[in-house]
Amino acid sequence: MNEQIALSVQNVYKVFGKRPAEAVKRMKAGKTRDEVSALGTAAVIDASFDVRAGEIFVVMGLSGSGKSTLIRTLNGLQPQTAGNVVVGGTDISTISDAELRKVRQQKISMVFQHFALMPHRTVADNAAYALEVQGMAKAERLARAEKVLKLVGLEGWGDKFPAELSGGMQQRVGLARALCAETDILLMDEAFSALDPLIRREMQEQLVALQADLGKTIVFITHDLNEAMFLGDRIAVMRDGRIVQIGTPDDILTHPANDYVAQFVQDVDRTRVLTAGSVMEPARAVVNLSGGPRNALRTMRDLQTSAAFVVDQRRTFFGTVRDRDVMHLVESRAPDLAAAVRNGNGAVRAETPLSELFGLAVESPIPLPVVDDEGRLVGAIPRVTLLAALGNVPSSTTDIPIVESAPAPIPEQEVTRTLNKTSMGIKTSAEGGTR
C-alpha cells in the first residue's frame, strides 16, 4: 500500500433506515437514490477517494448532501453500510470495538461544529481529554495540554471553563483537544461554521499555518465555497449523497464537472481563489535579449504588437520593450537591446491571487508578465483575461477587444522601412524570434 495515502475510502455507502443492505444492493444494480427511498435514506452513495498524507481535503456540498455522514464513517462513528474505510493502513470496517478505539486514540481525531466541549471540565482538562483517554498521568497530560493551548493562542486560559470563553476561543479549545491527541489525521466537520465571519477567517488562516507547521492530514467539511477554496488542497463536491467531482480549487472553478458544480461555484469570490498561474496565457510577444534590437523589432512587427517581453536564453524575465524605443535603438545602430528594457520587476509570480493583480493590471498598458519561482517567464495575463476569469467566461473572448490593452503598434511599413534603412546587408538569423 502506498504510504503517501493517509486515508482511503473505497466504494462507501451509508443508508439509514429499515433495510440498508437491500438499498445498497439495488443502487449497485443501478437504481437511483429516490427509487430506493422506501428502503431507507441513502446519505452516502458509492464514495471513493484517497486523502494524501499532509493535505487538506475538503468535502463541500449543500445541507443534507451527506457530508457529516461521510466524515463520520471515517472514524467509525457511523459505520458504513458497504465499502471500506482504511485509516493509516487499517481497514476500520473489519476491526473489533477495542481496536477501533485504539485507532481513534492514535490515528484520527475530530473537531466538531458546535465545539462539543465538556462544560463541566476546565479548558485544560478538555484539551487534555484525548491524553486522559490514552491513560497518560495527570501532570504530564496537563503539561502537554498547556503547550498545545499556547500553540492555538490560548495561553493562560487553562483554568477557565468553556462557558467563560467566546465561540472562537471555544473552537480553539476544540482544535487543541484534537491536536493534543497527536494523531496524523484530523477530521473537521463544519468546524468554523458557527463562528463570526471575521473570527472564521482568522481561524482558517491559523489552521493553514498549523497545518504547514505540523503536517497534519485534514479532512474538512464545509458548505461554504469560499472556505473550501481557501483551505482545500483538493475539494470533493457532494450532491445528494454522491461525490460529483474531486479536484483542486482551480479545477473545480475552471472546469466544473457538471452544471451542479458550475452553479455551486458561481458565486465564489474568484479573486481569492484563482492565481495568476491559473488564468495566464502563453506569452506570445517574447524577444531574446541576446538577439539584439533589430531582431526584437522584427518580431514585434510580425506579431503586430507594440511591446514585447525580454528574456534571456534560460527564459529569465528581464523586462519589456516598446517598439518605439527599440526603433530608436535600431536607428542609432545600437547593438544592445538592454538599453530599451523597462520595468524589469513588473512581473507577478504564478501563485499571486487575482485579487492582487487588479492594481497592476490597471497601471500596465501591456499584458502582465508571469514568472515562476526562478524568475523565468511562464505566461502573460492580458487585462481581458483577468476580467474574463472573474466572470468565468471562456477566455477565448480575449480576441474581442473589450479593453484596449496596449497602445497601437507603429504601422508595419514604417518598421520595415527602418529595418531596411539600417540594414548593413547582414542577414539576421531567425534566432530570437517568437520562441
Partner 1 sequence: MDLEFRIPLGDWVDVGLDWLLATFAAVFAFIRTVFLAAYDSLEWLLTTPPSWAIIIVFAAIAYAARGWKLALGTALGFLLIVGVNQWDNAMESFALVIVATVVAILLSVPTGILAASSATASAIIRPILDFMQTMPAMVYLIPALVMFRVGVVPGIIATIIFSMAPGVRFTELGIRGVDKEVVEAGYAFGSSPGSILRKIQLPLAMPTIMAGINQVIMLALSMVVIAGMVGAGGLGGEVVASLNRIDAGLGFEAGLAVVILAIFLDRVTASVGKTSEPGGRAGAGRLAKQSLQNA
Ligand X SMILES: Nc1ncnc2c1ncn2[C@@H]1O[C@H](COP(=O)(O)OP(=O)(O)OP(=O)(O)O)[C@@H](O)[C@H]1O
Give the binding site for partner 1 (CB under 8 A): 75, 77, 101-106, 109-110, 112-122, 125, 129-130, 133-134, 161, 163-164, 177, 181, 187
Shortest distance, position 106 Cβ to partner 1, whole Å: 8
Q: At what angle do helices 167-180 and 138-151 cross, to 10 degrees?
A: 130
In terms of CB distance, is 45 or 388 closer to ligand X? 45
CA distances (Å), origin 307, targets 122, 226, 297, 373, 433: 66, 37, 9, 24, 14
CA distances (Å), origin 265, targets 256, 257, 321, 414: 8, 11, 39, 49
Alpha helices per DSSP H over 255-350: 259-264, 270-273, 276-279, 292-303, 323-331
Q: Residue 150 binds which entry of partner 1, Mg ion, ligand X, none, with Cβ cut-offs from 5 to 8 Å by kind?
A: none
Nearest residue by C-beta to ligand X? 68
In terms of CB distance, is 187 or 237 closer to partner 1? 187
Shortest distance, position 262 Cβ to partner 1, whole Å: 34
In terms of CB distance, is 110 or 268 closer to partner 1? 110
Q: Please, which contacts does 258-265 make with residues 24 or more away whose CB atoms are closer than 8 Å?
A: 261/237, 264/60, 264/62, 264/225, 264/237, 265/225
Q: Tell whether residue 254 is a contact of Mg ion (CB under 5 A).
A: no
CA distances (Å), origin 231, targets 217, 225, 363: 12, 10, 31
For residue 304, give the DSSP letter.
Answer: T
User: 375 CB contacts (<8 Å, ≥6 apart)?
Assistant: 316, 317, 347
C-alpha 150/C-alpha 148 separation (Å) is 5
CA angle at residue 168 from 171 to 153, to 5 degrees?
Answer: 80
Among 177, 200, 223, 298, which residue sits at the site for ligand X (rule: CB under 6 A)?
Answer: 223
Q: Residue 320 binds which entry of ligand X, Mg ion, partner 1, none, with Cβ cut-offs from 5 to 8 Å by kind?
A: none
In terms of CB distance, is 109 or 275 closer to partner 1? 109
Q: Residue 66 binds which entry of partner 1, Mg ion, ligand X, none, with Cβ cut-offs from 5 to 8 Å by kind?
A: ligand X
Shortest distance, position 67 Cβ to Mg ion, whole Å: 5
State the binding string over 48-77 for Mg ion (x if CB under 5 A, else -).
--------------------x---------
For the chain, give the number of residues.
Answer: 435
State the binding string over 53-72 for ligand X (x if CB under 6 A, else -).
--------x-xxxxxxx---
Q: Residue 55 binds which entry of partner 1, Mg ion, ligand X, none, with Cβ cut-offs from 5 to 8 Å by kind?
A: none
- Residues forming the site for ligand X (CB under 6 A): 16, 41, 43, 61, 63-69, 223
